[in-house]
Amino acid sequence: MTSPVTRNVSILAVALALSACSSLNLVSEKPEAAALDATGAVIHPALWPTGHSGVAADAKVDAQVADLLAKMSVEDKVGQIIQPDINSITVDDVRKYRFGSILNGGNSGPGGNDRALAPEWLKAADAFWAAEMDAPEGRPAIPLIWGSDAVHGNSNIIGATVFPHNIGLGAMRDPDLMREIGAVTAKELRVIGGDWTFAPTIAVVRDDRWGRTYEGYSEDPRIVKDYASAIVEGIQGRPGDADFMAGAHVMATAKHFLGDGGTDGGVDQGDNVYGEEGLRNVFAPPYESAIAAGVQTVMASYSTWRGQKMHGNHALLSDVLVGRLGFNGFVVGDWNGYAQLPGCSKESCPQALLAGIDMYMAPDGWKALYANTLAQVKSGEIPMVRLDEAVTRILRVKLRAGVLGEPKPSARAYAGQWDLLGAPEHRAVARRAVRESLVLLKNENRILPLPPKLNVLVAGDGADNLPKQSGGWTISWQGDGNSRADFPNGSTIFEGIRDAVSAAGGTATLSVDGSAAAKPDVAIVVFGENPYAEFQGDRANVDYQSGNRRDLKLLQELKARGIPVVSVFLSGRPLYVSPEINASDAFVSAWLPGSEGAGVADMLFKKADGTIAYDFHGRLSYSWPRAPEQTPLNVGTEPYYPLFAYGDGMDYAHPRNIGIIPEAPELQASIANTDRYVEGGQALAPWKLAATRDAITVTGPKINLTRNTDGDMALVVTLHVGKTPTAPTSLGVAGGVVDVTEMLRSAGVTATVAVRLSCFRAAGADMRAVDTPLLLSSRGGVTATIVSAGLSPGVGAPVCPPAPQT
């Protein structure tokens, strides 16, 4: 416990008084100081470095491309530049439209099942390949390529090896291990017939409020640059080698070009307001490195640069990326990213192609997009020369990867070798990555490493929780809905501790709430963030558990019982946890370690003979805040006064105590909660729940749900229904209303209603300013109570409910 005086230290005053200089010279985080000048959003390509692809031009390949292009109809060419999601197409669609590529989104899978087992994925790959190769007479059969978010291992697949997320890998400072991780990921993707991963993310993250912070290796472009080339080589192989993008290797994607990690306020898909110099010096270096390593696809960012969407930024996509940096692969858009351009929709966007997007990622609007793009080419709105350029780039990459000469996916190298998914040698690489990624931030009186022959209490909701330790982009998009059974080859942190302790004659007892029949020798408490992905993880600040520090209470209760406490913190970013650190004897940042929880246990215990098994290697690749609102916080900027600086991290060889650290005042409930409205029948701050005879409403501050709507999120409401409605009943959001009478009539006492946000927008809701995210009303009176309400991905019927009855 700290005194009230200590808890109310003015962090700002201390920061201004004690800010220190740094050797890394980067641009200011303040938008008004970020080289804003008369040039506005103008790019000067001549000021950008001249780069070269690691894949040299090949006259033979170019001749093959020209030959194919000459045999293709304009319909064939348009098909090549469109990439639909497998949940919105059939095999017959592939046969008819001749797509250049397909993808599986975060919640997509064969037959609509994102939890399909590995053999079903390979079977689907064969079916789509066969349909594509069934070309009309006289037309070339050009195999499609299948893109997948294998972002920390082949993490869509049950049983695959799941590596730590990138934020942990950045702490390793180990490019060689990154190559191994890339190679394992590629091989496990080959097992299911995959040939393209949408990885690596090479964002330089400059504001930890961003919901994709854990996808970035570091706030420092130097680390990201070093890793970009290493991971690309691991995934693709080395240019010039016989197995480049072949055999055990697949195509890689450098994403998201450009500046996605530097948006103002850390808002996902937001606006990067850095000056051109900052854009060039902070965010571009990793792309230079990836291009030099031969990366063959680059994904455009959702974000804007000074108000201009990247999907429509010709200067950056064409003049800089291709013209100056030397990229000679193809540019793919992000999920419906083109539809965000002014004047565009999911069904039509010539602007994106003209700006430099070579392949539209069109998960669900592909059919109308195909028809409109075809018409725009025929009318001359899209010049044939630009269409041919895009198709040429795609075909060139396919030829380099040997796609045109390969048999069906199941007949390729490693396909169907199910024992490679989560193979012991692959898991060993992941376990080593876990060990190297952990950062020791506190170790008072050398409590760690622990002797294994102890009575160990293991507490916290992250202790025996593989979904939580793996985070988002794991099996499902948000990492939700997963269970221990979805990780047959993994280990929880508790399981690793139990095995280490029992092998030495000790005992390990799991008790999530910390209760125990007898006093243990030590408590290891594992806690932290729950899984999230993309904008669902955006925050208003970097406080952990604002307003309800339930994990802190658990730590304090254990300490009050005289039990030494070792905290293991799971998170996708550095967060303000000074009270939790003060309530711990040791504190380990474990990030999101993935499937190999035993790697965490490796670091906490001595060998049975008392010697150190493994010392801590990880060093912070992000600066750690000393206050809830201390963000942005990046090395090389002033003032710079973090709690733990970039590069910090203890080890057993150099012990030190940190004592009690200052604590900042608690924050009040934040508007950051934009997606959870009611739980257990109670409104969650800052929302208010009100009920009258005719309606139940949730109201609060205005929030922008545009991204959530574009991301196919749904409003999910669980109710206790007192009486089946006899009068029309409607559900509304921000003025957009749909009829849910039949949904409630067909349900039982407990009903769950899921309606996509896009349905409310189609009904007239303004999703840019939502202050009533839920309105349930009935002419005959509402005889129901709301148990829970919030937003969820991947649910809700694709067909919207009808308009309310009149």
Instruction: Return the active site residues.
Output: 334, 534
What is the C-alpha separation between 678 and 789, in angstroms, rounded?
5
What is the C-alpha separation between 144 and 146, in angstroms, rounded?
7
Residues 6+ apart with CB under 8 A from 269: 263, 302, 303, 340, 535, 707
Residues 357 and 379 sit within 8 Å (Cβ to Cβ): no
**Which residue in this structure is represented by tokens 């906490």?**
604
What is the C-alpha separation between 775 and 786, in angstroms, rounded?
11
In terms of Cα–Cα distance, which of 455, 451, 450, 430 is closest to 440?
A: 450
Question: How distant, in Å, are the alpha carbons of 77, 478, 744, 745 from that of 804?
Answer: 44, 32, 14, 15
DSSP string computed for 403-470 = GGG---GGGSTTTT-GGGTT-HHHHHHHHHHHHHH-EEEEEGGG-PSBPSSSEEEEESTTTT-HHHHH
Residues 291 and 48 sit within 8 Å (Cβ to Cβ): no
What is the C-alpha separation between 350 and 64, in angstroms, rounded?
27
Query: What is the crossing angle of helices 424-437 and 175-191, to 10°?
Result: 140
Other C-beta atoms within 10 Å of 499: how many?
14
What is the C-alpha separation between 169 and 179, in angstroms, rounded?
12
Residues 275 and 38 sit within 8 Å (Cβ to Cβ): no
| Residue 678, helix vs strand vs coil | strand
What is the C-alpha separation between 317 and 310, in angstroms, rounded?
8
Q: Which tokens belong to 122?
A: 């390979």
Residues 671 and 540 sit within 8 Å (Cβ to Cβ): yes
What is the C-alpha separation between 666 and 334, in angstroms, rounded?
38
What is the C-alpha separation between 97 and 103, in angstroms, rounded?
15
Helices (H), 543-664: 550-560, 578-582, 598-604
**Which residue in this structure is represented by tokens 């280490």?**
500
Helices (H), 456-549: 466-470, 493-503
**Which residue in this structure is represented by tokens 């349909």?**
131
Q: Which residues of 293-327 are buried (b: 16+ CB within 10 A; e: fewer)?
A: bbbbbbbbbbbbbbebbbbbbebbbbbbbbbbbbb
